[in-house]
Structure 1
Amino acid sequence: MKKVEIYEPAGCASGVCDPMIEADLIRIEHMVQDLRDRGVSVSRYNVMDDMPAFMASFVVKEAIATKGIDCLPLTVVDGKIEMAEEYPTDFALAKWAGLPWSDLEVYADREKREKTVLFGYSDVEKKSDCDDEDCNGDCSCCD
């Protein structure tokens, strides 16, 4: 399995968070625990609490020196930055962690359901062609 590290900004130290950021943090925490339960080495480092970890990583120091602290969060897999400035999806984390395809499908399905709950539809599920049974011949509902 691979080594996954997430280098995070200060976060919600004041106790006031944007609801979308807070939801993302909760999702990431659950995903990290899920990966750990599967035997994946996953570490999270907060810039306020874990500065030695930031200083020990050449790629993280270089990213911050080049782009500033706004490059956080950074997701590093086996010493290579895979994502910057946002948290990865559950599917991406599972893929980078080297989980088998059967497990990846579970995460893809979960993301599809989350999009449906958050936004009322999933881009993946949105129909491009009308099915008469679903629309009673009125294809405007599928556009």
Structure 2
Amino acid sequence: MTNKIEIFDPALCCPTGVCGPSVDPELTRVASTIFTLENKGFYIKRFNLGTEPRMFVENKVINTLLHEKGPDALPITLLNGEAVKIGEYPSNEEFAEWLHVNEQDLQEPASKTRLL
């Protein structure tokens, strides 16, 4: 069975971090890693507090953590329903460990297209 990863984000205008006045490199890294993993067939879901608050209420683990620690607990990562990361996003090393892949496989291949 493949591991199931769910990430519960704070309220974001977009999951990539490129929509505001300054780019958040951590959000960009996470979005890119998740995109790569999804394309390889792994189960990874993200939920945004701003657009999907019901998911935060209905998930007992998330609901409990938010009541205990407040919104600073976000982002929260669940692995097979268990909280494994609170208050920060998983590193590529953690994604690789949880999904049993090589960390190098999580990086986007460099584009071969050259801009003139």
> TM-score, with normalisation over the residues of structure 2?
0.78
Instruction: Describe the SS at the equivalent of 1:4.
Output: strand
By how many angstroms is 1:11 displaced? 3.1
Q: Which residue of 1 aligns with 2:20?
A: 15
Alignment-mate amino acid for residue 66 of structure 2: I
Between the aligned partners of 2:39 and 2:96, the Cα distance in structure 1 is 12
How does 1:1-143 map onto structure 2 within 5 Å?
1-11=2-12, 15-17=20-22, 19=23, 22-96=24-98, 98-100=99-101, 103-104=102-103, 106=104
> Which amino acid is the alignment partner of residue 6 of structure 2?
E
Aligned length: 102
Amino acid at match of 1:10: A
C-alpha distance in structure 2 between counterparts of 1:23 and 1:12, whole Å: 15
- Cα RMSD between the aligned structures? 2.1
* Structure 2 unmatched runs, 5+: 108-116
Q: In percent, how many aligned pairs have the same letter?
A: 26
State the AA in 2 paired with 1:40.
F
Spell out, residue by residue over 1:50-69, the C-alpha distance to the aligned partner (whole angstroms, 9 max, x if none).
11211221100000000001
Q: Please give the per-residue CA displacement for 1:64-111, whole angstroms capped at 9, x wherever unaligned.
A: 000001000001111100001111101101212x224xx24x269x7x
Which is bigger in relative contact order (C-alpha 8 A, separation at least 6)?
Answer: 2
Runs of 4+ aligned residues of structure 1 deviating over 4 Å after TM superposition are none
Structure with the greater alpha carbon radius of gyration = 1
Q: Distance in 1 between matches of 2:105 and 2:71?
A: 30
- TM-score by structure 1 length? 0.64
Provide the rounded CA distance (Å) in 2 between the counterparts of 1:54 and 1:46: 9
**Alignment partners' CA distance in 1, 2:30 and 2:5:** 12
- Is the 8 Å Cα contact of residues 91 and 107 (structure 1) preserved in structure 2? no
Report deviation, 1:12.
5.2
| Structure 1 segments unaligned to the other structure (5+ residues) | 111-143
When you count helix as a share of all residues, which structure comes out higher? 1
Partner of 1:49: helix, strand, or coil?
coil
